[in-house]
Amino acid sequence: MKNLPLSKVYQLLEPGPVVLLTTARKGRPNVMTMSWHMMMKFEPPLVACIVSGNDYSFAALRATRECVIAIPASRLASKVVKVGNCSGRDTDKFKAFGLTPMPAQDVKAPLIAECFANLECKVTDTRLVNDYNLFILEVTKAWTDPAQKNPRTIHHQGFGKFAVDGKTIALKSKMR
């Protein structure tokens, strides 16, 4: 994994890919599937996300205030759905679905070796957790896998239907 400048993190999340969110509590890592996230600030990168109170990850995220956002390319789509179809309450999802946890640097939550990007995050604002399950995260470290060139991400349209990135278009833009 290669270090990615934090100023480039938005380029990974702004397109709205399905991501995996890892946590670790009492030495036990877990992972969930997540689509409800958005960029909030370029640098330091702030990210908002919704983690439902029904998700087993909710308590770990709230207690440890740490997580990793791991971004899977389309070849991992079936694993991403399997991760979303069960709970860490009764399943070791890393083992069950052949995902490899790797130590992170700033947080105890693991990186996922198979993902093309991994973002280490700390919870920085919990004001809207009680009302909306909305967590605000600061990305403190970002990693990409140089071996995965031009990864295509997946975008959830509901009920397990995903759009995969197709062609890329480049237009003259002042937008960062």
Tell me which residues touch its own copies (CB under 8 A).
8, 10-11, 14-17, 33, 35-41, 46, 48-50, 74, 77-78, 81, 84-85, 125, 127-128, 131-132, 134, 136, 152-176
State the CB neighbour count (10 A cutoff) for residue 1: 17
Q: Which is nearer to its own copies, 108 or 162 (CB)?
A: 162
For the bound state, the minimum distance from the C-beta of residue 141 to its own copies, rounded and expressed in Å, comes to: 19
Residue whose token pair is 């679905």? 97
Report the alpha-carbon distance of residue 29 to residue 87 in Å, rounded. Answer: 12
Q: Which is nearer to its own copies, 104 or 142 (CB)?
A: 142
For the bound state, the minimum distance from the C-beta of residue 120 to its own copies, rounded and expressed in Å, comes to: 20
Q: Which is nearer to its own copies, 1 or 48 (CB)?
A: 48
For the bound state, the minimum distance from the C-beta of residue 109 to its own copies, rounded and expressed in Å, comes to: 21
For the bound state, the minimum distance from the C-beta of residue 104 to its own copies, rounded and expressed in Å, comes to: 24
Per-residue CA distances from 145 to 43, 112, 117 (Å)? 21, 11, 6
Q: Which is nearer to its own copies, 64 or 87 (CB)?
A: 87
For the bound state, the minimum distance from the C-beta of residue 139 to its own copies, rounded and expressed in Å, comes to: 14
Report the alpha-carbon distance of residue 154 to residue 157 in Å, rounded. Answer: 10
Report the alpha-carbon distance of residue 168 to residue 42 in Å, rounded. Answer: 22
Q: Which is nearer to its own copies, 147 or 173 (CB)?
A: 173
Backbone angles phi, psi at 97, to 5 degrees: -115, 10
Residues 6 or more apart in contact with residue 68 via CB below 8 angstroms: 21, 22, 104, 107, 109, 110, 111, 112, 118, 119, 120, 121
